[in-house]
Chain A
Amino acid sequence: MARSDSSSRRPRGPARNHSARRRAPRRGYPWWLRLLALGLLFAFLGGLYLASLDHEVRTKFEGKRWALPARVYARAMELYPMADISVEQFARELARLGYRRTDRARIPGDYSGARGHFVVHTRGFEFWDATEPPRVLDLQFADGTLKELHDATTGQELPLVRLEPPLVASIYPADNEDRVLVRRQDLPESLVKGLIAVEDHNFYHHHGVDPRAIIRALWADLISGRLVQGGSTLTQQLVKNFYLSDERTLLRKINEAAMAVLVELHYSKDEILEVYSNEIFLGQDGSRAIHGFGLASLFYFNRPLDELDLAQQALLVSLPRGPSYYGPRRHPQRARERRNLVLDLMAEQGYIDTKQAALAKAEPLGVSKVHGQGSGRYPAFMDLVRHQLHRDYREEDLTSEGLRIFTTLDPWLQDKAEARLAQGLERLEKRRHMTAGVLQGATVIVDSQSGEVLCVVGDRDPRYAGFDRALEAVRPIGSLVKPAVYLTALSRPREYSLSTLVDDRAVHISIPGSGVWSPQNYDHREHGRVPLERALAKSYNLATVRIGMSVGVDSVADTLKALGVARPFDAYPSILLGAVSLSPLEVAQVYQTLAAGGFTAPLRAIREVMDHNGNPLQRYPVTVHRSVPAGPVYLVSRAMQQVVREGTARSLSRFLPEDLGVAGKTGTTDDLRDSWFAGFTGDKVAVVWVGRDDNKPEGLSGATGALPIWGATMADARPQPLALSPPEDVALVWIDPANGLLADQSCSGAEQEPFLNGGAPTLTSSCVDRSRGRPLNFLRRVLE
Chain B
Amino acid sequence: MRQLVALLVLGIALVGCSTAPPVRERPAPIVRKPAPPPPPPSAKVQPLRPPAPRAPPVQIQPYRPARPPVVTPVYGPAVGSLVRVAAAQRDAGHVAGASASLERALRIEPRNPYLWNQLAHLRVQQRRLGEAADLAEKSNALAGPDRTLRRDNWLVIAKARYAAGDLAGAQAAQLKAESLR
Contacts and interface: CB of A to CB of B under 8 A. Distances in A.
B80 A625 contact: no
A159 B81 contact: yes
A624 B138 contact: yes
Contacts of A599: 134, 137-138, 141
B91 to A, nearest CB: 15
B160 to A, nearest CB: 13
A130 interface: yes
A449 B110 contact: yes
Given A80-B78, A130-B85, A727 B110 contact: no
Given A80-B78, A82-B76, A450 B103 contact: yes
Contacts of A623: 131, 134
Interface residues on B, range: 20 to 34
A128 interface: yes
A619 B99 contact: yes
Interface in B74-108: 76-78, 80-82, 85, 89, 96-97, 99-101, 103-104, 106-108
Contacts of A597: 141
A450 B110 contact: yes
Of A82, A607, A621, A624, which is in contact with the most chain B CB atoms at under 10 Å from its CB? A621
A630 B108 contact: no
B22 interface: no
A626 interface: yes
A621 B99 contact: yes
Given A78-B104, A597-B141, A625 B134 contact: yes
A159 B78 contact: yes
Given A130-B97, A597-B141, A599-B138, A622 B81 contact: no
A663 to B, nearest CB: 16
A492 to B, nearest CB: 21
A468 to B, nearest CB: 26
B163 to A, nearest CB: 17
Contacts of A83: 78, 108
B101 A130 contact: yes
A725 interface: yes
B144 interface: yes
A729 B107 CA distance: 28
Nearest to A727: B141
Contact of A450 (B81, B99, B106): B106
Contact of A619 (B76, B80, B96, B119): B96
A80 B108 contact: yes
Interface in A138-168: 159-160
Interface string A446-473: 0111101000000000000000000000
A129 interface: yes
A429 interface: no
Given A129-B100, A129-B104, A621-B103, A159 B110 contact: no
Interface string A590-605: 0000000111000000
Contacts of B82: 160
B137 to A, nearest CB: 5
A253 B119 CA distance: 64
A554 interface: no
A719 interface: no
Given A129-B89, A624-B134, A727-B141, A616 B78 contact: no
B101 A129 contact: yes
A82 B103 CA distance: 19
Given A597-B141, A619-B100, A447 B110 contact: yes
A109 interface: no
A449 B106 CA distance: 9
B111 interface: yes
Contacts of B138: 599, 624, 626
Interface in A640-696: 682-683
Nearest to A598: B141
Contacts of A78: 78, 104, 107-108
A125 to B, nearest CB: 14
Of A80, A129, A607, A623, which is in contact with the most chain B CB atoms at under 10 Å from its CB? A129
Contact of B111 (A129, A449, A452, A626): A449
A129 B104 CA distance: 10
Contact of B134 (A129, A619, A626, A683): A626
B10 interface: no
Contacts of B78: 78, 80-81, 83, 159-160
Nearest to A160: B78
A78 B108 CA distance: 8
Contact of B77 (A80, A608, A624): A80
Given A128-B100, A129-B100, A130-B85, A450 B77 contact: no
B135 interface: yes
Interface in B124-181: 131, 134-135, 137-138, 141, 144
A624 B135 contact: yes
B141 A608 contact: no
Contacts of B100: 128-129, 607-608, 619
A159 B144 CA distance: 27
A27 B110 CA distance: 98
Interface string A120-140: 000000001110000000000
A683 to B, nearest CB: 6
Nearest to B94: A129
Nearest to A682: B111
28 contacts: A80-B76, A80-B78, A80-B108, A81-B78, A128-B100, A129-B89, A129-B97, A129-B100, A129-B104, A130-B97, A130-B101, A159-B77, A159-B81, A160-B78, A160-B82, A450-B103, A450-B106, A597-B141, A607-B100, A619-B96, A619-B99, A622-B119, A626-B134, A626-B137, A630-B141, A682-B111, A683-B110, A727-B141
Given A80-B78, A129-B100, A624-B134, 10 more contacts: A130-B97, A159-B80, A159-B81, A160-B77, A160-B82, A449-B111, A450-B110, A597-B141, A599-B134, A683-B110
Interface of A: 78, 80-83, 128-130, 159-160, 447-450, 452, 597-599, 607-608, 616, 619, 621-626, 630, 682-683, 725, 727
Nearest 7 A/B pairs, CB to CB:
A80-B78, A129-B100, A449-B110, A159-B81, A160-B78, A129-B97, A159-B77
